[in-house]
Amino acid sequence: MGKLKIRSTTVIAVIHNGEVAIGADGQATMGNTVAKSNVKKIRKLQEGKIVTGFAGSTADAFTLLEKFDEKLNKYGGNMKRAAIELAKDWRMDRYLRRLEAMLIVADKDEVLVISGTGDVLEPDNQVAAIGSGSMYAQSAALALKKHASHLSAEEIVRESLTIAADICIYTNSNLVIEKVS
């Protein structure tokens, strides 16, 4: 797989004060044109016990989400095991390795980033972000976790995405945020 340039969204997940929230903006671009402004990039799996977000090609992401759900079912809902198995397949399978997307997956205990290079990363500070506005959102979330500890995980995700949308031209303010049940 070549160097993946994901530049058309922001997805962030935060674990804070015992809560887990994940959110994304709604913008989809084709080149430098906004193609759609209200794409839902967050999906609940396993009856809401696992929440996912994606960045990259929508069709590719849906394919990966289907494969991830299959792995979850195969491994009894064990998110980490399913993520590792998906990453292995993604890297090794001739068809899957061409898919250009990244995933964030979260359950009540942890957040993981899954990439097509075979990586399954558990982020530092319980904040994970992907997409073009990811560094803006991640920086905001880390600051909010540190200096506004009274906020909920959902409030941190919302404010972080709002800040990213104000800076990143590939991120908009049509936000979808879900909490892990």
pLDDT in tens, 125-153: 999 999 999 999 999 999 999 999 999 99
Q: What is the mean pLDDT of residues 2-31?
A: 83
Residue 106, beta-bridge partner list: 51, 111
The per-residue pLDDT of the chain, averaged, comes to 91
The rounded distance, in Å, linking the Cα atoms of 139 and 15 is 15
pTM greater than 0.75: yes
- Quick one: pLDDT at residue 6? 46
Whether 9 is catalytic is: yes
Give the rounded percent of residues in the chain with a pLDDT score beyond 70. 96
Q: What is the mean pLDDT of residues 91-112?
A: 88
Regarding the domain with residue range 10-179, which homologous superfamily does it belong to in the CATH classification?
Answer: Aminohydrolase, N-terminal nucleophile (Ntn) domain (3.60.20.10)
